[in-house]
Amino acid sequence: MSDSTEHFAPPSARSPEELAARVKAMESILVEKGIISADAIDYMSSVYENEVGPQVGAKVVARAWTDPEFKARLLQDASSACREMGATGLEGDEMIALENTDQVHNLVVCTLCSCYPWPVLGLPPNWYKSPSYRARAVREPRGVMAEFGYTPAPEVEVRVWDSSSELRYFVLPGRPNDTDGLTEGELAELVTRDSLIGVSVPRTPSEA
């Protein structure tokens, strides 16, 4: 790559300890000012750390792979289809599922900040929030995907979607080959967070 300063892969300069200290400081201020209670903060963190994460989106995708009617509902109205599967909550009122096909590969970014479909993916990874990902996903999506180990065929059209606070996108990746005999649960294990963002594709059974 010619411009090494635009590389997004390394984590930000702040150490985890530094970040944790800053979060603690902000939390104390919010609690002190009575804006939020400490219990509420603990509860929300625990929900989004332990219960809501990409494993929820993986289940949604596996169901879409095995249930054509569900898939149709998901592509029609993702928020409502996800609610059927209990995937609901903050930052998920208006979600759109983008279907990858043999002709089209979709990639999601929030160029402005870090809008992300929390109910199906949990909290965004740090790289998703980085200025370089936000810029490069638009400018050179194939270069970004290559860094995640994925190279779409040259004839595949790459579409980049800019999430916002009103509309949050996630990808419905294609079902990997050689997965005919797998159960919905086994299929879900192939679906990664990165494949739901579109920087990559699901694992194959031999990779899993």
Binding positions for Co ion, rule: CB under 5 A: 110, 112-113, 115
Tell me whether residue 163 is one of the annotated catalytic residues. no
Residue carrying the six token digits 């089209």 = 104
Tell me whether residue 82 is one of the annotated catalytic residues. no
d(CA 162, CA 137): 10
Residue 128 tokens read as 């998703």
Tell me whether residue 110 is one of the annotated catalytic residues. yes
115/197 with CB nearer Co ion? 115
Q: How far is the CB of 48 from Co ion (least distance, A)?
A: 17
Q: How far is the CB of 131 from Co ion (least distance, A)?
A: 12
Tell me whether residue 114 is one of the annotated catalytic residues. yes
110/197 with CB nearer Co ion? 110
For residue 153, the SS3 value is: coil
How many Cβ atoms from other residues are within 10 Å of residue 178's Cβ?
Answer: 9
Q: How far is the CB of 11 from Co ion (least distance, A)?
A: 20
162/189 with CB nearer Co ion? 162
The residue sitting closest to Co ion, measured at its beta carbon, is 115
φ and ψ at residue 86, rounded to 5 degrees? 80, 5
Nearest to 141 by CA among 156, 125, 129: 156
**Do 200 and 150 contact (CB within 8 A), yes or no?**
yes
Q: How far is the CB of 134 from Co ion (least distance, A)?
A: 9
**Do 181 and 192 contact (CB within 8 A), yes or no?**
no
Residues with catalytic function? 110, 113-115
